[in-house]
Structure formats: C-alpha cells, structure tokens
Structure 1
C-alpha cells in the first residue's frame, strides 16, 4: 500500500487548468482541508434536477406503483399476488446483484436508482396496460381479434410499447440527472433498474396468473418460474440496455434535444431484440435447445460488452487522475491504487486491517467522482457545475485522505 501523507506540500496549478510542465509554476501551497477548496474558486451549486427528481418524482412514481399494486391484487387476489410476488423476488435479486457488479466502479445516486426502479415497476407497466387496453378496444370494435392476434400482441405490440415506456424513463433520467449520466455504463445501470422493475411486476402477473390457472403450485408453475425467473432474469435488462448505451453515448456527444435522437436510435435494437425473443417462441419446438444456441451466446456477448465498458471507465479514471498527479494532488503511484480494480482491493484490505476501510472507500469514491467531474470539464458538458463539483471534490479528497492517515500518524505510515 502506498504511503499517504496528508501534510505533504504540493504545487497547485489550479485543479482544472490542465497544465503541462512547460507552463509557469505558482508558489507551492500546503494542501489541507482548508486550502484544498480554496485553491479553486467555488461556484455556488445551482438547484439540482436530481433534487427535484427525488422530492417530486419519487412521490409521484410511488403513487403510480401503488395503483399498479391495487390493479394486480384486484385481478389476481391476495393469495396469488403474495405468492407470485415472493417468486418474483428471486429473479429481482439476481438482477440486483448483477447491477451492483456493473455499478461498482462509480455507483449512481440512490435517488436516481430508486426513481429508475419505480418507473419500471410502475409507470412503464401502466403505460403498457393503458396502450394494450386501447388497442384491444380498437380490435374489438373491428370485429374482434383474428388468428394472428397473439403473435401481433407478443412480437410487435409488446416490444414497441414496453421498450418505449421503459426508454422514456431513461430519457427523463438523462434530462434530470445529467451530471450523473457519464457514459454507457451509467446508461446500462439505469436501464437495468428500470427493466428489473418492469420484469418484477410482469413476473408477479405471470406467476400469479399461472397459480390461479393451475389451482396451486404444479409442474406448469415450476416451468414458468424456471423459464422466466431462473433462465431469463436479464432478458428485459438486455433489451433496454441498448437505449441506455445510446443515451450514455449521447451524454458525451450532445445536449438535451439531441438525446432524443439517440433515444430513438437505441430504441430500434431494443425493440428488435425484444421482438426476436417473444416471436421465436411461436416458431421453435424445442425452447431449451433454442435457449442454449441463441440466448446464451447473446447473454455472453452482453456480459463481454459490460466488461469492456467497465475497463474503459477504469482507463478514464486513470487518465484523469494522472493529470491531477502531474500537478501534485496525488502521488503517481496512488493513481494505480485508485484507478485499477486490483489496486482498490489492496487499498481496502490495507485500510481494513487498520480499521479504516470505510474511510478508504470514501477516498476511492471521491477520487473517482473527481475524475468524472474533470471529464465533464474537458468535454465541456455542464462546465460551470462540473468546475464547482471539482473544487468541492478536491477538498473532499484531501479530507478523506486525512481520515485514512491522520497527520500525527503520517511519519509512521
């Protein structure tokens, strides 16, 4: 573990100047909790869209989710709803641990994650129910469903309506919490929470309906639980992730209006993959063979893409923190500790042995947020807010470093 001396004197060229060795130096300053934030003018924080999202959005979505719960209870009954809900918790838990792994490098704000889940479990389900009901009314007014109605409903209507509704939640998150939408990995995380919420509600409906039809738990209930809960808990996540990736790219390339185009661009593969998943069930006779030959490779490819994107985040963190190291905010060997998975594990183990794991975790998080704030400055995305965040995070980095190695213990470290 690299020694960390919070009392060391470093040269500050201002945090976001992006200086090189050729530029003139300024007088060295002692970096302390007081001087770190003073080194860069602190711009007052503007009212955050994320704050409005937390206060208003969560309340509204909770009401919508409650309405959906009442709808499910009315349609399924208490017993089927309760047992279906317990069964649906298992695939939700699988998605939860998967998303935690994806989001481990730079965790998203909890309020945004809760918003995403409630949107998926409530609003997107309500959209699907309302649109489906209106389409049924139109079809009934034209003489009732024809022989191809089931295929139309599963392979055309459902993918368009469901992915459109889930993607709308992603677009709102992009607009309201733009500073926390740094790239494709963030888009995948938000998409996974929305899709996980949608699948949770949909699974309650499927499991509960099958329980009612079977009159209890039988082979048919076990089979649908195996197919939806164990074999394909990430199906909806894979579909909606295309929209998340597209909006993650939009965060680095365009503004609020341009994001609509990226949303529509990501919607196309999301709908097509969803339609392929649903439509294939009408043509394959051996579902398990089809699953092994087609869906397993698709899932493996999705995991490979996530690993690649996570490595890109690690590289971005290393590149940006190296710029701060060049002007003295970090020791050069600290960058390897803060910007690589292996370095973080070693740092946490080192701190844990000294009873300071929480402080080390906070230090790593602050440094990572600092790297992404600088990336926003470089790309010109919300520059004024990003510079204010940078100034505050520089102070937080120094403060969290001092918590790991107090000044009195620095020589011994």
Structure 2
C-alpha cells in the first residue's frame, strides 16, 4: 500500500528509507553521547518565566498606584491594538521554522516586565542623583536622546542574549534573532504604551489620549521592534559565524546599532519642526528597509530548507518532489489541505512532519557550515528518526 504522506499529493509514493544512509550520517563520536533532542532547556524556562511574571506583577502594581486602576485599564486596552499588530507580524515572520512557545513567552515577559523594571529603576536613580548633585532634574532632551536609548536597548538586549545562551539549539540564525528581538520589543512597547496612554489621559483628557494613540499606536507600532531587531539580527548572524565568547562582539555591535537608531529616532522627534516630513523622510524608509530585509531572510530560509533536504533526498530520506513541497509555502499549504481532507484528518501528523523536516534542514546547515559538535550530530540522528516516525504516524490506519 502506498503511504499517504505529504509527498503523495505531488508525485506519488515517497521513498521509505531503510537504515540511516552512511553518506549523511557522521561517524559516531569517540565517547557515547546521550543527548535527547533539545526541545526545552531544563530549569531555565520555568525559572525565567516565573521571575518575569513576578516582576510583571510588581510593575502592574506600580502602574496602578501611579495611574489609577481605571486609567491603567483604559491604557491597557488601547495598548493591545499596536501589540496585536506587531505580534501578527512576528507570527508571519516565524511561520517557517517556529520558535518554541516557552521561548516566545519568556521574550515577551522579559520585554513587558523585566526590561521596563530596569528602565524605571535606572530612571529613578538618575533623577535622584541629578537632584542630589545639581538640585535639578535631568534634561528632557538628554533623557530622550541618550538615557532612554542606552538603558532601554541594553535592558531588552540582555533578554535576547539570555535566550541565545539557554536556547542555543533554537537560536541559530538571523530570523530567529529577529523573532526573539521583535517579541521582546513588543512586550516593552506594550507596557510603555500603557504608561504613555495613561499619562496622556490624566494630563490632557480624551483629546490628548487620542492623539497619543494615533502617533504611538497606529503610526509607529514597530518603532521598538526596529531598534531591538539590530541586536537580535546581530546575535543571529554571529550564531552562524562564531562560537563561544565571540558572540559577545556580535551582541555589542548589534546593541550599538540599536542604541544609535533609537537615539536617532528620539532625537528627530525631539528636535524636528515638521512631524509629517520627519515621518515620511525618516521613519517610513527605515520601516520599508526592514520589510525588504525580512522578506529576503524568509527567502533564505526557504533556500536553506530546499538545499539541505535535497542532500537527504539524494540519500533516500525524501523524494525530490516532496522536498520541493516542503521548501515552499504553497507546497506546505497543499500538504496541510491534503491532511485535512483525510478521514480522520491527519493535520497534527503532517504539521509534525513539516516541523521536524525543517529543523533537520537547519541542523544540517549548522553541520555543513562548520558548527558541528556532538550535540548537533545527536540532534541530526534523532530528527531523522522523528521524520521516519512522522511518516509512520501519517500512514498508520485510522491515524
């Protein structure tokens, strides 16, 4: 009986491989390696998320006291609008090789809680120091152009660096860095918007709140994403080019770019006389460039998937037409449509097959580009076993 697998909707039966092809399986390491595929990261995920939630509750309590509960609720509801816009964009970017849910939750909570707490503590410290030393408050322009970019980007960047450190197997390219950076930035912007919306309502009423919402929520919801993306992209690029402490140089380079872009943005808003011209001449081109870069990176992901899976196809693990389907959005959609049409539906099994095949391609990419180690080799072996298991699950009677 022909196995009803994703390749079948394209070109008939799929080659069912036997033992691991020696052409692609690397020699065993000198000592036995017991390393299950790293879908989690031990204690970091629960501890990191728990700490971030606790900090978040403290931030909420601070806002409730500073703004009032009703103002906090209004600001929170309005802040959900730009947050939704950004998270939908992040989901689109992350569709090809989705990041683990726990990592995305940690990224969001770090941005929304920990980064904001760091910024608030530093701001309070600066104000107290200035008042004690000079008997005056800090200069607002200096705060906007120097303090805010420096403190906020460092705070957000530390969260991305933590994710890289404790989720190394999932963080291996610029798209991963972009997704994590955008999620951290989305969380930070969400909390910051609550504060700005609440202050606008208190100080200027509904008219001021409406104007602030339009400017921050509709015209520039991606501002923080654009800044922090520099850090995430740099770490992702470094993950493909260096090992060990060398990643810190990439982190610092990306962080410097993020701080500079943030300072440019804030400085232009602080000193510009024509806000519309500023938006058209500075913000729109930066946003357009970011879109182009994102599209190019997504195309690169598809190319890597195709090239690496074709290597496995040459060894009998996939058939070439199946690889073409796995390496294109249209092919994946067709596979899922086929899965939904079965009785019973086999959508979960096909999704698992697509996800494991994609991770296999990117694991292979790391190996062939000189980033191989015993753990990656173990991951490759286990992913090949998972792909074979996915095939059996798809073709099982009554699946």
TM over 0.5: yes
Deviations 1:292-322 (A, max 9, x none): 2221111011010001011111111111111
Going from structure 1 to structure 2, the CA distance change for 1:291 and 1:9 (only over 3 Å counts) comes to closer
Contact 1:242 1:266 in 2 (8 A): yes
Deviations 1:242-270 (A, max 9, x none): 00010001111222311111111001111
Going from structure 1 to structure 2, the CA distance change for 1:310 and 1:48 (only over 3 Å counts) comes to closer
Q: Work out which of the residue numbers 330, 350, 369 in structure 1 matches 2:338.
A: 350
Contact 1:84 1:205 in 2 (8 A): yes
Going from structure 1 to structure 2, the CA distance change for 1:193 and 1:174 (only over 3 Å counts) comes to same
Contact 1:16 1:387 in 2 (8 A): no
Mind listing any 5+ residue stretches in structure 1 that lack a counterpart? Answer: 20-40
Going from structure 1 to structure 2, the CA distance change for 1:15 and 1:111 (only over 3 Å counts) comes to farther
2:5 counterpart residue number: none
Q: CA RMSD in A?
A: 2.3
In structure 1, what is the Cα distance between the partners aligned to 2:75 and 2:84?
15
CA drift of 1:210 comes to 1.1
CA drift of 1:3 comes to 4.7
Q: Work out which of the residue numbers 224, 228, 246 in structure 1 matches 2:216.
A: 228
Contact 1:170 1:190 in 2 (8 A): yes
Q: 2:269 matched to 1:281? A: yes
CA drift of 1:47 comes to 8.0
In structure 2, what is the Cα distance between the partners aligned to 1:286 and 1:231?
15
Going from structure 1 to structure 2, the CA distance change for 1:17 and 1:48 (only over 3 Å counts) comes to closer
2:203 counterpart residue number: 213
1:128 counterpart residue number: 119
1:2 counterpart residue number: 10
Contact 1:11 1:327 in 2 (8 A): no
In structure 2, what is the Cα distance between the partners aligned to 1:9 and 1:47?
25
1:26 counterpart residue number: none
1:171 counterpart residue number: 161
Contact 1:376 1:383 in 2 (8 A): no
In structure 2, what is the Cα distance between the partners aligned to 1:60 and 1:273?
30
Q: Work out which of the residue numbers 18, 22, 29 in structure 2 matches 1:14.
A: 22
What SS does structure 1 have at the residue aligned with 2:73?
A: helix
Going from structure 1 to structure 2, the CA distance change for 1:153 and 1:9 (only over 3 Å counts) comes to closer
What SS does structure 2 have at the residue aligned with 1:253?
A: coil
Which deviates more, 194-203 or 334-343? 334-343
Contact 2:35 2:378 in 1 (8 A): yes
In structure 1, what is the Cα distance between the partners aligned to 2:324 and 2:180?
28
What SS does structure 2 have at the residue aligned with 1:233?
A: coil
CA drift of 1:408 comes to 10
Going from structure 1 to structure 2, the CA distance change for 1:187 and 1:47 (only over 3 Å counts) comes to closer
Contact 2:339 2:347 in 1 (8 A): yes
Going from structure 1 to structure 2, the CA distance change for 1:2 and 1:12 (only over 3 Å counts) comes to farther
TM-score (norm 1): 0.88
Q: 2:104 matched to 1:113? A: yes
CA drift of 1:17 comes to 3.3
CA drift of 1:357 comes to 2.8
What is the number of equivalent residue pairs in this alignment? 385
Q: 2:371 matched to 1:381? A: yes
1:173-192 aligned within 5 A: 173-192=163-182
1:249-268 aligned within 5 A: 249-268=237-256
Which deviates more, 291-300 or 227-236? 291-300
2:82 counterpart residue number: 91
In structure 1, what is the Cα distance between the partners aligned to 2:273 and 2:210?
19
What SS does structure 2 have at the residue aligned with 1:179?
A: coil
In structure 2, what is the Cα distance between the partners aligned to 1:193 and 1:399?
32
Mind listing any 5+ residue stretches in structure 2 that lack a counterpart? Answer: 1-8
Which deviates more, 399-408 or 96-105? 399-408
Deviations 1:381-403 (A, max 9, x none): 36212222222211221222233
CA drift of 1:70 comes to 0.9
1:197 counterpart residue number: 187
Q: Work out which of the residue numbers 387, 391, 399 in structure 1 matches 2:389.
A: 399
Q: 2:134 matched to 1:143? A: yes
In structure 1, what is the Cα distance between the partners aligned to 2:131 and 2:17?
78
CA drift of 1:348 comes to 1.9
